[in-house]
Amino acid sequence: MNTVTNKISIGHGSGGKLTHNLIKNLFLEKFRNPILESLTDSAILNINGTRLAFTTDSHVIKPIFFPGGNIGKLAVNGTVNDLAVMGAKPLYISCSYVIEEGFDYQSLERITQSISQSAQDAEVCVVTGDTKVVEKGKGDKIFINTSGIGLCNYSLPKDIEIGDKVLINGSIGDHEIAILSAREELGLNLKIESDCAPLADLISQVLKSSEKIKFMRDPTRGGLATTLNEIVEEKDFGILLEERDILIREEVKGICSLLGFDPLYLANEGKVVIVVAREDADQVIETMHSHLLGRDARIIGEVVDSPKGMVCLKTQVGGRRIVDMLVGTQVPRIC
């Protein structure tokens, strides 16, 4: 909260430091229980000996149609990916619409068709939902909430050790830059598409290729930098990134330098960060390379002894800088 105004700011929804503080200081305090306390992408529930992953996500993206997808595709993949990174097989999702009065039926149909197709692609069924309509001017076209459950056959996360490798399945920042370019007011004319994709199949191949996967997370809001900070937070190890090994498309680099953004903080919707034991890293990369969504997979860093609890970047020119969690927000309503 902004202590001066006592109001929620856009930054509280950024997925960065302000969101973290809100969760820790308010939500975790009021809801505290051992399942929530793990603050993982999905809650892991033990029900009569069955391990289930359970997650929920609201989507408020603007614009609702963008290069590489729309709010419907995003709503399915966002939830499916939060289940998959826990090692779960996504099974069922819900779909709740909050629609603004006057929203055009054809767009709703297009979005719903996309939800149906994305669910099919991700091998999940939409089994329940809800529809609410708010008065004109009281919403912004459409918001969608999806929850999901999956069957968890793997126990993640595992203990991370010094020397473990940090992997990602491709370039960073594509989603956020695609959204930005779709905002007409900016007048950007880029040929970049969102990476929005379901990761469950890639992740299941990865889990089959190694028993030494320690941790996975999709670097969405807050980007790679925030996700890595979440991994090292209050831990007795750090992460050292190699700048030269991080893939950033030229268009993304260009926009970042134009607008003063750091690509490490840009949102992704089809990427997974994986921490794996050093000895298995190459075989996991090889497995990822054989999958459509992992063709550009690479090792981008490793778990180091110091500085503890911090993410550092070894720059191309050989310097080192600390990479903090996202503070504030770069672009609001990107997912």
Interacting residue ranges for Mg ion, rule: CB under 5 A = 41, 82, 218
CA distances from 134 to 43, 97, 247 (A): 30, 11, 42
- Count of C-beta atoms within a 10 Å radius of residue 302: 19
85 neighbors 216 (Cβ within 8 angstroms): yes
**Closest CB 122 distance from Mg ion, rounded Å:** 15
**Closest CB 188 distance from Mg ion, rounded Å:** 27
**Closest CB 55 distance from Mg ion, rounded Å:** 8
The amino acid sitting at 22 is L
**Closest CB 158 distance from Mg ion, rounded Å:** 18
Alpha carbon distance 144, 298 (integer Å): 33
44 neighbors 86 (Cβ within 8 angstroms): yes
**Closest CB 294 distance from Mg ion, rounded Å:** 18
Alpha carbon distance 31, 37 (integer Å): 9
276 neighbors 210 (Cβ within 8 angstroms): yes
Minimal CB distance to Mg ion: which residue? 41
The amino acid sitting at 195 is D
Between 16 and 139, CB nearer to Mg ion: 16
Between 82 and 164, CB nearer to Mg ion: 82
Between 218 and 280, CB nearer to Mg ion: 218
Alpha carbon distance 237, 161 (integer Å): 8
Between 77 and 181, CB nearer to Mg ion: 77
Between 70 and 77, CB nearer to Mg ion: 77
